[in-house]
Amino acid sequence: MSLVRERISENLKEAMRAKDEIRVSTLRMLKTEIVKLETEKGKVELDEAGLLKLLSTMKKQREESIEQYEKAGRQELADQEKQEIAIIETFLPQPLSTEELSQMVKDAIAEAGVASMKEMGKVMKIATAKAAGRANGKIISAEVRAQLAG
């Protein structure tokens, strides 16, 4: 069993003992999504990278929902999504600092041997793999563009 999966199970038990409804519902939702994805892939247990990717996707979905709820004037729903994001983030690795991201992109550019924007895709592939869920694709893309442009 993976470390992330164990932490989710342990946190769920603690939340149930503490009668923390939002944590219980969020952690149950996480477990359900993990099982659902594994079933879709043919009863294959997700590895750490797969779990982190799933958690990142779920976080991103909630961020998009917050935006929609706030536009619709549904602040209570936006607040609930923010609470869920806070819980999901406890299982994600620390995000890269600006300096770490910049250095990682420099390394990816050097590794790809790229000098123009035309080959940005090669750099993005390497940089995204190196970031391993520690940076949003939009942020990586912006940094790659900035470094390739000048």
Q: What CATH number does the domain containing 128 carry?
A: 1.10.10
**C-alpha dihedral sign at 122, 131, 134, 36:** positive
Residue range 45-74: mean pLDDT, rounded: 89
Structural domain ending residue among the three candidates 38, 65, 89: 89
Residues spanned by the domain of 105:
98-149
Q: Are residues 82 and 105 in the same domain?
A: no
Average pLDDT over residues 102-128: 83
Angle between helix axes 137-149 and 98-112 (nearest 10 degrees) is 60
Q: What pLDDT digit, counting tens, does each position of 69-78 carry?
A: 999 999 999 9
Residues 84 and 109 grouped into a single domain: no
pLDDT of residue 1: 56
Say if residue 103 is in the same domain as residue 85: no
Q: What is the pTM of this model?
A: 0.73
Query: How many independent structural domains does the chain possess?
Result: 2
Claim to verify: residue 20 and residue 85 sit in the same structural domain: yes
pLDDT band at residue 29 using 50, 70 and 90 as cut-offs: very high
Q: Are residues 83 and 102 in the same domain?
A: no
pLDDT of residue 51: 85
